A and B are shown apart, each in its own frame.
Chain A
Amino acid sequence: DAGVIQSPRHEVTEMGQEVTLRCKPISGHNSLFWYRQTMMRGLELLIYFNNNVPIDDSGMPEDRFSAKMPNASFSTLKIQPSEPRDSAVYFCASSFTLNTGELFFGEGSRLTVL
């Protein structure tokens, strides 16, 4: 069975460019989470969706960050414009329902902003 699929796995871009990260959750899962991992701040919850609806975006650091989930099988996290401090590994995770606590993580997208 396919797990959570993220793309790209690695992205190197220059400051000021737009970055779009993509996620395909596990089929049948109706909750989706975006996390960011850095050495300094650890794992931070950015936003999560339930049934394609954003439930809590309080972790989104700035207006430069936006996330969408147009349907049950696809989500994007966009950064525009990107800055060097956005460099991190971004993880997408999905779960069968919102309250099981069992998250299935993708392998992450490593973003480097020069």
Chain B
Amino acid sequence: AQSVTQLGSHVSVSEGALVLLRCNYSSSVPPYLFWYVQYPNQGLQLLLKYTSAATLVKGINGFEAEFKKSETSFHLTKPSAHMSDAAEYFCAVSESASKIIFGSGTRLSIRP
């Protein structure tokens, strides 16, 4: 069965610092992988997705993620955090891009 594990329910970084949100997946077939962001009182919004075209995926707002099959990881990074990046981030996996399973989420806080 497919699943994702997000390491760290809460991450806090200083403005301008590197953002690293960790995600490991489990899938019996080559997976589709996604990162979504949720701002307070809103629905989720797609940040980026991996569909086997390239291992380094660039998304919106300066975020990117790298697919590492050997580590079954799909960590999300951003070189320099901005106050507006404060939100909850969800890693998600799908074996068919139809039934998408979300991780438990990581709340990102930005310190001034």
Besides A31-B98, A48-B99, 19 other A-B contacts (C-beta < 8 A): A4-B43, A42-B102, A42-B103, A42-B104, A43-B90, A45-B99, A45-B100, A50-B98, A55-B98, A56-B99, A91-B44, A99-B97, A99-B98, A101-B32, A101-B46, A103-B46, A103-B100, A105-B45, A108-B41
Residues in B with CB closer than 8 Å to A35 are 102
B98 in contact with A48 (CB, 8 Å): yes
CA distance in complex: A106, B45 (Å): 10
A101 in contact with B49 (CB, 8 Å): yes
Most buried by B among A4, A43, A45, A50: A43
Q: Mark B10-48, 1 if CB is under 8 A from A, else 0.
A: 000000000000000000000010101000011111100
B33, closest chain A residue (CB) = A101
Residues in B with CB closer than 8 Å to A102 are 46, 49
Chain A contact surface mostly: strand
Counting residue pairs across A and B whose Cβ atoms lie within 8 Å, the total is: 57
Residues in B with CB closer than 8 Å to A108 are 41-43
Which residues from chain B sit less than 8 Å from chain A, CB to CB?
32, 34, 36, 41-46, 49, 51, 90, 94, 96-105
Q: Does A86 contact B (CB under 8 A)?
A: no
A97-114, CB < 8 A from B: 98-103, 105-108
The 8 residue pairs across chains A and B that have the minimum distance between CB atoms: A105-B43, A101-B97, A43-B102, A99-B97, A42-B104, A98-B98, A105-B44, A101-B32
Residues in A with CB closer than 8 Å to B105 are 42-43
A101 in contact with B100 (CB, 8 Å): yes
Picked from B36, B96, B103, the residue with its CB within 8 Å of the CB of A99 is B96
Residues in B with CB closer than 8 Å to A33 are 100
